[in-house]
């Protein structure tokens, strides 16, 4: 057989054998993708993550009905699918997927050759990395743990996004209620001002009393204008949280049912948050990944490369071919820097876990305290202050019609009613905010689970574009 044909045949056999040896036992690596994050969120809250859509498309869950008003549940579903900040974070899933793929890749063989020109004989070497046999599983394991960490972090980011959308919706609804209350106050004060002007014309009151009533009516007009502006600002904030800023969707709030006051075991919620909150689980996975990287750095010191084969065109016995081995001799260092860096990172992450654990405990207890206080405030304003203020206003208005009370007293009782009603609205909104924060702090819904429909509406981000039906 011709030497070169012999070389080609043997080389092909060696490469195939080595490739099969390196690839044997290499299981297909797995990673945590969008479906995994969506499953975690659905298990904790009942909300679906939604399909991955082209950039700038707005995807509306099928459960949303714009005609009957936008509810808080519908707003959260839309925001989870379209919130721009959260959609940016979800792109990290593709990065971790690429990291897992890269960690699982086998290093390509290296060929070096010296051509037989002049007196130089032909030399040929094929190098295959052998350390991949014991380093690749560690690299893949570290990348998979990092993928799990990112999935848990994105689950917590999803809970944060739900909380932010809820707060934006509550603030918008409160702003609308305050605008409506300001309009009611303007109507009441304008009516008092009309009665005052009629009494002044009849000579029944002094100019000084009427001037105070006029000023109060103008002040009420300014409050009404400001309240309308605040409602518009809150609407735009909600549109951003929902991710529909460039669409032509218009919406109004639906009737919000009274939140059900359920008894909560705060210590049980604290233990639940510490044991299974996603951001804490993410740090635990990060610690495991750092430990794997430290183990990898401790083993990656020899840089073993197999030479299969090393071929010389003309040796002492003619054509020569034989195996060899190339490796780094760890004399000057044994990769101590990389090892210590990975161990230090693991230690930092352990301390970060302790900090996050204590933070979670504080957040749950603070949110529970705020919820209890908000319930107490709401009960005081709704059951005591507001009814008393309305009764006083009714009495003074009846006395005003009979000319038996001062205009200033009527103004004062009117202000008290409007102020008490405003504080009642604030307290009711604070109950809902505190509930949203408590659910985020614990890491799950504390009330009923929403059943999301699979159908969707996809709307390109242009005001004139028509919506189309789609199914993820």
**CA proximity to 172, closest of 69, 95, 267:** 69
24 Cβ neighbours under 8 A, 6+ residues apart: none
Q: pLDDT band at 405, cuts 50/70/90?
A: low
Q: pLDDT band at 411, cuts 50/70/90?
A: confident
Tell me the two tokens of residue 446: 């504390």
Predicted confidence at residue 468, as pLDDT, reads 33
Average pLDDT of 283-307?
88
Question: Can you say whether residue 336 is alpha, beta or left, with left for phi > 0 and alpha for psi between -120 and 50 degrees?
Answer: alpha
Question: Can you say whether residue 261 is alpha, beta or left, with left for phi > 0 and alpha for psi between -120 and 50 degrees?
Answer: beta
User: What is each CA distance from 365 to 69, 166, 267, 362, 445, in whole angstroms?
Assistant: 34, 20, 8, 5, 16
User: What is each CA distance from 236 to 56, 208, 233, in whole angstroms?
Assistant: 18, 43, 5
Return the axis-axis angle of helices 132-201 and 207-242, rounded to nearest 10°.
160
Q: Which residues of 86-116 are buried (b: 16+ CB within 10 A; e: fewer)?
A: bbebbeebeebbebbeebbeeeebeeeeeee
**CA proximity to 148, closest of 92, 223, 197:** 92
Predicted confidence at residue 384, as pLDDT, reads 93
Tell me the two tokens of residue 74: 């519908």
In residues, how long is the chain? 472
Tell me which residue range forms the domain holding 81: 71-447
Per-residue pLDDT at 469 exceeds 70 = no
Predicted confidence at residue 155, as pLDDT, reads 96
Q: pLDDT band at 318, cuts 50/70/90?
A: low
With respect to residue 17, please indicate whether it lies within any of the assigned structural domains. no
Q: pLDDT band at 431, cuts 50/70/90?
A: very high
Among 39-43, 425-429, 447-451, the least confident range: 447-451
φ, ψ dihedrals at 261, nearest 5°: -80, 110
Percent with pLDDT over 90 in the chain: 50
Residue 383 is classified by DSSP as I
With respect to residue 42, please indicate whether it lies within any of the assigned structural domains. no
With respect to residue 123, please indicate whether it lies within any of the assigned structural domains. yes
With respect to residue 5, please indicate whether it lies within any of the assigned structural domains. no
Tell me the two tokens of residue 217: 């009516």
Predicted confidence at residue 472, as pLDDT, reads 32
Average pLDDT of 231-255?
91
Per-residue pLDDT at 310 exceeds 80 = no
Predicted confidence at residue 466, as pLDDT, reads 31
Per-residue pLDDT at 101 exceeds 70 = yes
Predicted confidence at residue 123, as pLDDT, reads 80
With respect to residue 452, please indicate whether it lies within any of the assigned structural domains. no
Instruction: Give 269-288 pLDDT, tens digit per residue.
Output: 999 999 999 999 999 999 99
If one counts every other C-beta atom within 10 angstroms of the C-beta of residue 326, the result is 14
With respect to residue 13, please indicate whether it lies within any of the assigned structural domains. no
Among 52-61, 337-346, 361-370, the least confident range: 52-61
Among 99-108, 234-243, 322-331, 428-437, the least confident range: 322-331
With respect to residue 61, please indicate whether it lies within any of the assigned structural domains. no
Q: In what order do the strands lie in the sheet with 57-61?
A: 57-61, 456-460, 468-470
Among 33-42, 134-143, 313-322, 356-365, the least confident range: 313-322
What torsion, rounded to 10 degrees, do the Cα atoms 195, 200, 204, 208 define? 100
Per-residue pLDDT at 12 exceeds 80 = no
Instruction: Give 17-74 pLDDT, tens digit per residue.
Output: 545 544 544 557 888 999 999 999 999 999 988 888 777 788 888 888 888 899 999 9
Percent with pLDDT over 70 in the chain: 86
With respect to residue 462, please indicate whether it lies within any of the assigned structural domains. no
Instruction: Give 109-149 pLDDT, tens digit per residue.
Output: 888 888 878 777 788 788 888 878 888 999 999 999 999 99
Per-residue pLDDT at 453 exceeds 50 = no
Question: Can you say whether residue 254 is alpha, beta or left, with left for phi > 0 and alpha for psi between -120 and 50 degrees?
Answer: beta
**CA proximity to 162, closest of 268, 272, 86, 64:** 86
Tell me the two tokens of residue 320: 């020569």
Q: How far apart are CA 352 and CA 285, in angstroms?
A: 12
CATH number of the domain enclosing 391: 1.20.1600.10
> How many domains is the chain built from?
1
């Amino acid at each position: 057989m011709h030497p070169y044909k012999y070389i080609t045949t043997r080389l092909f056999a060696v490469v195939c054998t080595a490739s099969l040896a390196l690839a044997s036992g290499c299981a297909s690596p797995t990673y945590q993708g969008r479906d995994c994050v969506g499953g975690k969120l659905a298990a904790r809250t009942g909300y679906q993550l939604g399909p991955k859509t082209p950039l700038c498309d707005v995807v509306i869950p099928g459960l949303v009905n714009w005609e009957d008003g936008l509810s808080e549940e519908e707003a959260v579903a839309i925001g989870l699918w379209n919130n721009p900040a959260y959609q940016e974070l979800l792109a990290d899933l593709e990065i971790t997927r690429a990291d897992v793929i890269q960690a699982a890749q086998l290093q390509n063989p290296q060929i070096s050759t010296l051509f037989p020109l002049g007196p130089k004989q032909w030399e040929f070497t094929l190098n295959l990395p052998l350390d991949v046999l014991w380093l690749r599983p560690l690299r893949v394991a570290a990348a998979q743990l990092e993928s799990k960490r990112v999935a848990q972090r994105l689950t917590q980011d999803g809970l944060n996004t739900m909380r932010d959308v809820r707060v934006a919706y509550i603030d918008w609804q409160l702003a609308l209620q305050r605008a409506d209350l300001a309009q009611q106050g303007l109507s009441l004060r304008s009516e008092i001002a009309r009665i005052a002007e009629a009494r002044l014309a009849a000579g029944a009151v002094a100019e000084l009393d009427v001037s105070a009533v006029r000023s109060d009516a103008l002040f009420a007009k300014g409050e009404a204008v400001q309240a309308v502006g605040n409602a518009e600002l809150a609407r735009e904030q909600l549109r951003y949280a929902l991710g529909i800023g460039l669409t032509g969707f218009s919406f109004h709030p639906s009737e919000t049912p009274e939140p059900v006051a359920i008894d909560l075991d705060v210590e049980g919620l604290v233990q639940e948050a510490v044991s299974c909150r996603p951001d804490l689980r993410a740090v635990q996975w990060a610690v495991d990944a750092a430990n794997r990287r430290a183990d990898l750095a401790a083993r990656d010191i020899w840089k073993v490369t197999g030479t299969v084969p090393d071929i010389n065109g003309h040796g002492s016995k003619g054509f020569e071919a034989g195996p060899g081995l190339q490796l780094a001799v760890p004399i000057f260092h044994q990769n101590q820097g990389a090892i210590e860096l990975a161990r230090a990172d693991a230690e930092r992450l352990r301390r970060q876990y302790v900090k996050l654990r204590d933070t979670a405990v504080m957040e749950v207890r603070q949110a529970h305290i705020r919820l209890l206080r908000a319930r107490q405030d709401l009960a005081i304003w709704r059951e005591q202050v507001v009814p008393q203020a309305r009764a006083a206003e009714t009495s003074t208005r009846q006395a005003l019609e009979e000319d038996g009370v001062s205009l200033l007293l009527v103004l004062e009782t009117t202000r008290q009613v409007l102020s008490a009603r405003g504080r009642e609205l604030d307290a009711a909104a604070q109950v809902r905010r505190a509930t949203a924060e408590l659910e985020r702090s614990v890491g799950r819904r504390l009330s009923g689970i929403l059943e999301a429909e699979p159908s969707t509406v996809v709307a390109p981000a242009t005001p004139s574009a028509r919506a189309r039906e789609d199914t993820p």
